[in-house]
């Protein structure tokens, strides 16, 4: 009984964490899908979002839920600046150039954050109570993180499907030359997609702090970069929606496998959860190389 | 093709500019204050006459000024600078048979990386000619550098590497200033035993790393000796993002006391998620994290009652008088003098953590050993260290001649009480009573403090 309770509790936490993972990966997939650029400096943008939540709360007492929209705006602005300053010049450059450039941007942001805010691990306490789910107890802040990430992902989906601009982005993804002949300003769509990708990533940084409100520091992004890549590949690298679902799956596997591994005598479950998560990734890729929602192979 | 080439060129240029920016920002860290004239470190003969003793002795170090130990590295640097200023200006220099020798200090940023530590140590030894080295922060980095120092036969003093394993490799030139890892959590168990003879169940949850494994191997052994039952003994990988699966398992085991942690970030995460799951215990002791004020700033009242082991805290009672009572020498600044010197480098708003104190103590130990040995020869100084037993503001200093392990220094236990860090154990060093059992998470959320 205790076993099932723990398993259920872990799966619930895994789902919440997974939704945050999912949203934090959507930006990465969107940028790759539209611009065919792999943003290796992905994690530091999550860090910027986390610091946004922290400073808004620490200086003005603004709750993190409000900070999500602020972070989105900061991310959009940052995205446009980086696009016009760096990325636009690299659109036709070899892959190595864009990899190096995004990597450098990541380091630049980290060092900038350290310069201004110092290396401290910061955190905040937003006490909004908790709910007893029977099998486990969960603070409302984490439930808000789950709901917010689902809402943001849904809004993005609607924007893609229902608006003209969204349709233009889809057209560029399908065939950029064809889109150009139809009068779509491809350069502008690139800029917009990059900015939205960064905006989503920065906003997800706020959600990360809703899940774990401590350990906010300039180098916190690394862990998320690695996971984001795995999740992006799992979801079919170019698909933001795939990434969102894959995030859920990754969270569930990561947390759920802990309880199952604990059944094996003499095994340290935590040392194996990442092994299991990555093994499942390998298996999925062997069976379906385009990722779970990657569509048919091209 | 041409366009691509131009693109690539521009990209490299952009990266260059960005890196240059970063490099310029780091430069002051990499080129320490006194530069061009410091290189000529003379290799002294075994018994030097005063005229053969050089004017300066070079101490070299790698410090983690960026990367994951940048916080601890920065603290160490301030502590080292304060200690060197005391030796050079207050003490007048290291007294080698009547001649006052000034300490020169050269350091590089190791970026908290093992490979960097190794190549920088090679550089310090072969090109800067440093024969007295300070190890970097953390057991992992200290262990990475130890074989290099030992290979070249230069002294390598650990001030932030506590793992017992460093001293079980048969190195001759590796010595230690801080207490070994296996003794970190033992005073907390002693304290619980003394306060609550009925406490039985102990849970150990810690980072799967060099240092914490050594700490908790020691804790487990001590717990069993004291008659505790270890109900959980589990590790988690470094840099975790979520510890709830492990903590729900701990909750089901209903331990009386919980001991855990590893480094700063995971310690903070542990407490934060224990609060989420309402994992209550009568006493909680976490490694490393609670020592820094940032712990309380980040967690607020959740940090109330949390204990932690410390190598040193402001307020400990090591002084020339206590040294006299023990019949040993006292060397270096008093605690107040150290605090004043520290603030000269760190700024008046900063207080030293134990990382600063232990790094300062390592410099003082070098100076004391050189003075006692009346020599700057590495082997003579190393031999003299085996006989040394003295006290600094950091505590006692005495090494095990066989291994170089520190055996004189003792750990203290502190507890967050009403937003202040109080020393609660051992009673001789304490400036407050331990608060036990600590308030539950619900009580803390309601504003109850541990005082």
User: In chain B, which residues have their Cβ closer than 8 Å to the Cβ of A8?
Assistant: none
CB contact under 8 A, B245 and A124: no
User: In chain B, which residues have their Cβ closer than 8 Å to the Cβ of A142?
Assistant: 276
- Asked if residue A219 belongs to a domain, the reply is yes
Query: How far is residue A235's CA from residue A215's CA, in Å, rounded to a whole number?
Result: 28
- Asked if residue A9 belongs to a domain, the reply is no
Q: How many domains does chain B have?
A: 2
Would you give the distance in Å from CA B27 to the centre of its chain? Answer: 25
- Closest by CA position to A211, among listed A256, A136, A148, A284: A148
For residue range B139-157, list pLDDT tens digits in order.
899 999 999 999 999 999 9
- Closest by CA position to B177, among listed B329, B321, B366, B17: B366
Please report, for the domain that includes residue A239, its CATH number.
1.10.3470
Main-chain dihedrals φ then ψ at residue B269, nearest 5 degrees: -65, -40
Same domain, B136 and B162: yes
**Is the CB of residue B315 less than 8 Å away from at least one CB of chain A?**
no
Q: How many domains does chain A have?
A: 1
Query: DSSP class of residue B179?
Result: P
Looking at residue B446, its pLDDT comes to: 87
Same domain, B302 and B338: no
C-beta separation of B84 from B412 below 8 A:
no
CA-based torsion, A271, A273, A275, A276: positive or negative = positive
Secondary structure (3-state) at B209: coil
| Closest Cα in chain A, distance from residue B254 (Å) | 13
User: In chain A, which residues have their Cβ closer than 8 Å to the Cβ of B19?
Assistant: 104, 107
Whether the bond between B290 and the residue before it is cis, its omega within 30 degrees of 0, is no
- Asked if residue B22 belongs to a domain, the reply is no
Of A89, A122, A223, Cβ closest to residue B241: A223
Looking at residue B385, its pLDDT comes to: 96
The predicted complex's ipTM stands at 0.89
Q: What is the DSSP string of A80-145?
A: HHHHHHTGGGGTTS-HHHHHHHHHHHHHHHHHHHHHHH-S--B-------EEE-SS-EEEHHHHHH
Does residue A86 have a pLDDT over 70?
yes
- Asked if residue A132 belongs to a domain, the reply is no
Q: Which residues of B144-157 are buried (b: 16+ CB within 10 A; e: fewer)?
A: bbbebbbebebbbb
- As a whole number, mean pLDDT of residues A79-93 equals 93
Secondary structure (3-state) at B156: strand
- Asked if residue A12 belongs to a domain, the reply is no
For residue range B73-105, list pLDDT tens digits in order.
999 999 999 999 999 999 999 999 999 999 999
For residue range A229-246, list pLDDT tens digits in order.
889 988 887 788 889 999
- Closest by CA position to B381, among listed B65, B133, B141: B133
For residue range B16-71, list pLDDT tens digits in order.
444 444 433 333 334 344 333 343 444 444 555 666 789 999 999 999 998 888 88
Looking at residue B163, its pLDDT comes to: 87
CB contact under 8 A, A94 and B245: no
**Host domain of residue B286:** 183-310+418-445
CB contact under 8 A, B265 and A217: yes
Beta strands in B98-188 (DSSP E): 99-109, 132-134, 155-158, 174-176
Same domain, B262 and B298: yes
Q: What is the DSSP string of B253-316?
A: H--SEEEEE-SHHHHHHHHHHHHHHT---SEEEESSGGGSHHHHHHHGGGGTT-EEEES--TT-
User: In chain B, which residues have their Cβ closer than 8 Å to the Cβ of A96?
Assistant: 8
Same domain, B108 and B250: no
Please report, for the domain that includes residue B439, its CATH number.
3.40.50.2300
- Asked if residue B130 belongs to a domain, the reply is yes
Of B18, B242, B302, Cβ closest to residue A125: B302
Q: Which residues of B296-313 are buried (b: 16+ CB within 10 A; e: fewer)?
A: bbbbebbbbbbbbbbbbb
Looking at residue B47, its pLDDT comes to: 54
- Asked if residue A131 belongs to a domain, the reply is no
User: In chain A, which residues have their Cβ closer than 8 Å to the Cβ of B239?
Assistant: 222-223
User: In chain A, which residues have their Cβ closer than 8 Å to the Cβ of B204?
Assistant: none
Secondary structure (3-state) at A66: helix
For residue range B408-424, list pLDDT tens digits in order.
898 999 999 999 999 99
Nearest CA in chain A to B245: A10
Of B7, B277, B298, Cβ closest to residue A137: B277
Looking at residue B6, its pLDDT comes to: 55
Looking at residue B217, its pLDDT comes to: 94
CB contact under 8 A, A108 and B21: yes
Query: How far is residue B116's CA from residue B107's CA, in Å, rounded to a whole number?
Result: 13
Same domain, B357 and B255: no
Same domain, B188 and B297: yes
**Host domain of residue A90:** 17-121+140-287
Determine which of B270, B276, B280, B296 to mutate to test the interface with A (most A C-beta atoms within 10 Å).
B276
Determine the length of chain A. Answer: 298
- Asked if residue B403 belongs to a domain, the reply is no
- Closest by CA position to A73, among listed A55, A59, A52: A52
Nearest CA in chain B to A224: B241
- Asked if residue B38 belongs to a domain, the reply is no
CB contact under 8 A, A119 and B71: yes
Nearest CA in chain A to B68: A219
Does residue B12 have a pLDDT over 70?
no
Q: What is the DSSP string of B45-61?
A: -SS--GGGS-SEEEEEE
| Closest Cα in chain A, distance from residue B229 (Å) | 18
Same domain, B230 and B349: no
Residue B337: its H or E element: helix B335-346
B176 has which bridge partners?
Answer: B158
- Asked if residue B331 belongs to a domain, the reply is yes
CA-based torsion, B173, B176, B181, B186: positive or negative = positive
CB contacts < 8 A, A to B, total 158
Same domain, B305 and B423: yes
Query: How far is residue A80's CA from residue A198's CA, in Å, rounded to a whole number?
Result: 9
For residue range A153-199, list pLDDT tens digits in order.
999 999 999 999 999 999 998 888 899 999 999 999 999 999 999 99
Question: Can you state the angle between helices A164-174 and A2-35, rounded to 10 degrees?
Answer: 80
Q: Compute the mean pLDDT over every residue in chain A, rounded to the nearest whole number.
A: 90
- Asked if residue B122 belongs to a domain, the reply is yes
CB contact under 8 A, A213 and B245: no
- Asked if residue A267 belongs to a domain, the reply is yes
CB contact under 8 A, B298 and A124: yes
């Amino acid at each position: 009984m205790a076993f099932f309770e723990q398993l259920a509790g872990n799966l619930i936490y895994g789902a919440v964490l997974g939704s945050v993972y999912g949203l934090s990966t959507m930006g990465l997939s969107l940028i790759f899908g539209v611009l065919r650029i792999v943003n290796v400096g992905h994690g530091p943008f999550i860090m910027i979002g986390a610091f946004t939540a922290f400073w808004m709360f620490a200086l003005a007492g603004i709750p993190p839920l409000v900070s999500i929209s602020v972070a989105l705006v900061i991310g959009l602005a940052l995205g446009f600046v980086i696009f016009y300053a760096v990325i636009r010049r690299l659109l036709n450059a070899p892959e190595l150039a864009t990899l190096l450039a995004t990597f450098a941007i990541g380091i630049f942001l980290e060092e900038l954050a350290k310069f201004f805010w110092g290396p401290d691990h910061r955190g905040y306490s937003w006490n909004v109570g908790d709910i007893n789910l029977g099998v486990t107890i969960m603070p409302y802040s984490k439930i808000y993180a789950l709901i917010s990430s689902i809402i943001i992902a849904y809004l993005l989906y609607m924007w893609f499907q229902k608006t003209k601009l969204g349709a233009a982005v889809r057209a560029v993804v399908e065939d950029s030359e064809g889109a150009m002949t139809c009068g779509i300003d491809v350069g502008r769509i690139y800029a917009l997609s990059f900015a939205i990708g960064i905006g989503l990533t920065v906003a997800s940084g706020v959600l990360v702090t809703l899940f774990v409100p401590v350990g906010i520091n300039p180098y916190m992004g690394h862990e998320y970069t690695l996971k984001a890549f795995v999740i992006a590949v799992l979801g079919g690298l170019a698909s933001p929606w795939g990434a969102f679902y894959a995030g859920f799956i990754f969270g569930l596997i990561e947390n759920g496998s802990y309880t199952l591994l604990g059944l094996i005598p003499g095994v340290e479950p935590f040392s194996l959860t990442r092994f299991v998560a990555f093994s499942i990734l390998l298996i999925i890729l062997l069976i379906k190389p385009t990722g779970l929602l990657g569509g048919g192979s091209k | 093709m041409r366009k691509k080439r131009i693109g690539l060129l521009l990209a490299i240029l952009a990266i260059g500019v960005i890196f240059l920016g970063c490099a310029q920002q780091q430069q002051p860290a990499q080129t320490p204050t006194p530069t061009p004239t410091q290189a000529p470190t003379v290799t002294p003969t075994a018994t030097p006459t005063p005229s053969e003793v050089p004017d300066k002795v070079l101490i070299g170090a790698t410090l983690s000024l960026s990367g994951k130990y940048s916080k601890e590295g920065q603290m160490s640097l301030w502590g080292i600078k304060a200690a060197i200023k005391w030796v050079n200006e207050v003490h007048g220099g290291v007294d080698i048979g009547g001649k006052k020798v000034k300490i020169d200090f050269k350091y590089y940023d190791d970026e908290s990386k093992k490979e960097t530590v190794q190549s920088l140590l090679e550089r310090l030894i072969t090109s800067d000619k440093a024969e007295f080295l300070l190890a970097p922060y953390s057991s992992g980095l200290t262990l990475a550098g130890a074989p290099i120092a030992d290979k070249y036969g230069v002294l390598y003093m650990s001030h932030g590497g506590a793992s017992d394993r460093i001293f079980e490799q048969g190195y001759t030139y590796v010595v230690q200033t801080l207490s070994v890892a296996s003794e970190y959590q033992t005073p907390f168990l002693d304290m619980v035993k003394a306060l609550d003879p009925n406490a039985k169940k102990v849970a150990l949850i810690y980072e799967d790393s060099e240092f914490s494994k050594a700490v908790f191997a020691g804790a487990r052994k001590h717990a069993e000796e004291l008659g505790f039952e270890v109900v959980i003994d589990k590790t988690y990988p470094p840099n975790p993002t979520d510890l709830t699966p492990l903590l729900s398992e701990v909750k089901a085991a209903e331990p009386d006391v919980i001991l855990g942690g590893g480094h700063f970030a995971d310690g903070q995460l542990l407490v934060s998620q224990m609060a989420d799951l309402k994992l209550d215990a009568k006493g909680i002791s976490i490694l490393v994290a609670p020592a820094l004020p940032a712990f309380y700033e980040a967690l607020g009242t959740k940090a109330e009652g949390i204990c932690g082991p410390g190598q040193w805290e402001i307020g400990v009672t090591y002084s020339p008088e206590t040294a006299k009572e023990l019949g040993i020498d006292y060397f270096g600044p008093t605690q107040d003098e150290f605090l004043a010197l520290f603030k000269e480098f760190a700024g008046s708003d900063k207080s030293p953590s134990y990382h600063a104190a232990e790094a300062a103590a390592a410099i003082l130990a070098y100076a004391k050993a050189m003075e006692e040995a009346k020599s700057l020869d590495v082997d003579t100084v190393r031999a003299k260290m085996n006989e040394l037993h003295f006290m600094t503001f950091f505590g006692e200093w005495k090494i095990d001649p066989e291994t170089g392990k520190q055996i004189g220094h003792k750990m203290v236990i502190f507890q967050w009480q009403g937003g202040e860090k109080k020393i609660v154990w051992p009673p001789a060093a304490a400036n407050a009573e331990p608060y036990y059992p600590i308030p539950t998470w619900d009580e803390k959320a309601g504003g109850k403090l541990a005082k």
